[in-house]
């Protein structure tokens, strides 16, 4: 097992390194941060631009810039934002909790929605509640999420006036962003719960438990659901990456001060350190969660390890 974990750990490090290299290289392919900082205004000369490039350390060859970035990461220093000079680690320290909080809230809401719905659908397999749940959950998956978000703002903030349209303040500000994300997640999670429930329900011991006259609810929750939990948890772990991706757009509509906002602004401002920092940290999280899922899986099912 230790060997397996070590191997996966090495792979994870390799992946994060590759991600940093891709991002650092790609963002430098177009656009000049010095020009961005100058904003095109004023009587900017090439000398002024050179001065700024020098101050930002951009005149060094790419590999030097990249290596110094890596060196910084090792001691937790991601450099400073080109825009204003705030340390990137400070910016991330502000933004990461917001994004993670939103991500986990969305996951929780989605689980709270999809477990009862999925179980209910499985138990009523083929009857109308099953059909309704399946089709409705697909409807949720069929909207562009920014549109859904804007529609919700229109309804809850402007027409009803009960929720704040943007920002992260109290618990109420989580409702719409988390719901937007959760609706999309729920569509897949409901199916997952339903399928694994159906599988579990068809197994012998459940039938035995049922035939022994155990109450339906006890059988469902105590036996069946517990057994369906493993694939669900695995899948949710794997979802985390795409969840983070989706959050970028939701953060933008709801003006959520998270990693997506940070990264998006960094792309448009060609703020290399901020972009490298945010994407590295996000990748680290995704890789870590996948790693945990893998290890947990390896613990449960030894066959995986050999693969």
For another protein, the binding residues in 98-137 under the rule CB under 8 A are 112, 116, 119-120, 123-127, 130-131, 134-135
Does 246 sit near another protein (CB under 8 A)?
yes
Residue 255 interacts with another protein (CB under 8 A): yes or no: yes
**199 belongs to the binding site for another protein (CB under 8 A):** yes
Under the binding rule (CB under 8 A), the answer on residue 299 touching another protein is: no
Q: Is 191 in the site for another protein (CB under 8 A)?
A: yes
Among 224, 254, 273, 276, binds another protein (CB under 8 A): 254
Best CA proximity match to 226, nearest among 203, 244, 245: 203
Question: Is residue 22 at the binding interface for another protein, with CB under 8 A as the rule?
Answer: yes
C-alpha dihedral (286, 292, 293, 296), degrees to nearest 10: 180
Q: Does 32 bind another protein (CB under 8 A)?
A: yes
**Alpha carbon distance 45, 53 (integer Å):** 13
Tell whether residue 242 is a contact of another protein (CB under 8 A): yes
Select from 3, 41, 61, 213 the one that contacts another protein (CB under 8 A).
41
By C-beta, is 252 or 305 nearer to another protein? 252
In sequence order, the 6+-apart residues with CB closer than 8 A to the CB of 141 are 184, 187, 188
**Listed ranges 60-68, 71-79, 165-173, 296-304: which one lies at the site for another protein (CB under 8 A):** 165-173
| Nearest approach, Cβ of residue 191 and another protein (Å) | 8
198 binds another protein (CB under 8 A): yes
Among 89, 269, 293, 305, binds another protein (CB under 8 A): 269
Count of residues that interact with another protein, criterion CB under 8 A: 118
Q: How far is the CB of 295 from another protein (least distance, A)?
A: 15
Q: Does 163 bind another protein (CB under 8 A)?
A: yes
Tell me the closest approach of the beta carbon of residue 217 to another protein, in angstroms.
Answer: 6
């Amino acid at each position: 097992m230790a060997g397996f974990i070590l191997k996966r750990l090495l792979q994870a490090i390799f992946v994060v390194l590759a991600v940093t290299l891709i991002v650092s290289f790609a963002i430098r392919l177009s656009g000049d941060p010095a020009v961005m900082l100058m904003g095109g205004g004023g009587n900017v000369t090439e000398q002024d631009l050179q001065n700024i490039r020098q101050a930002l350390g951009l005149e060094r060859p790419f590999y030097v810039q990249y290596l110094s970035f890596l060196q910084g990461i090792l001691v937790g220093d991601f450099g400073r934002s080109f825009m204003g000079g705030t340390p990137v680690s400070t910016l991330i320290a502000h933004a990461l909790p917001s994004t993670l909080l939103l991500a986990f809230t969305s996951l929780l809401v989605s689980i709270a929605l999809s477990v009862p719905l999925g179980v209910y659908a499985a138990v009523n397999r083929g009857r109308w509640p099953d059909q309704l749940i399946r089709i409705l959950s697909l409807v949720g998956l069929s909207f562009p999420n920014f549109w859904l978000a804007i529609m919700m703002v229109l309804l809850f903030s402007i027409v009803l006036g009960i929720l704040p349209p943007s920002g992260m303040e109290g618990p109420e500000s989580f409702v719409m962003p988390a719901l937007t994300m959760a609706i999309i997640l729920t569509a897949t999670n409901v199916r997952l719960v339903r399928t694994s429930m159906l599988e579990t329900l068809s197994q012998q011991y459940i039938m035995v438990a049922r035939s022994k006259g155990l109450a339906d609810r006890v059988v469902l929750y105590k036996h069946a659901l517990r057994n369906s939990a493993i694939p669900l948890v695995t899948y949710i772990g794997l979802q985390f990456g795409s969840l983070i991706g989706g959050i970028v757009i939701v953060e933008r509509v709801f003006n959520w001060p998270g990693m997506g906002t940070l990264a998006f602004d960094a792309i448009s401002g060609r703020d290399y350190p901020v972009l490298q920092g945010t994407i590295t940290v996000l990748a680290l999280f995704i890789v870590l969660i996948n790693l945990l899922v893998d290890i947990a899986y390896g613990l449960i099912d030894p066959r995986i390890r050999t693969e």
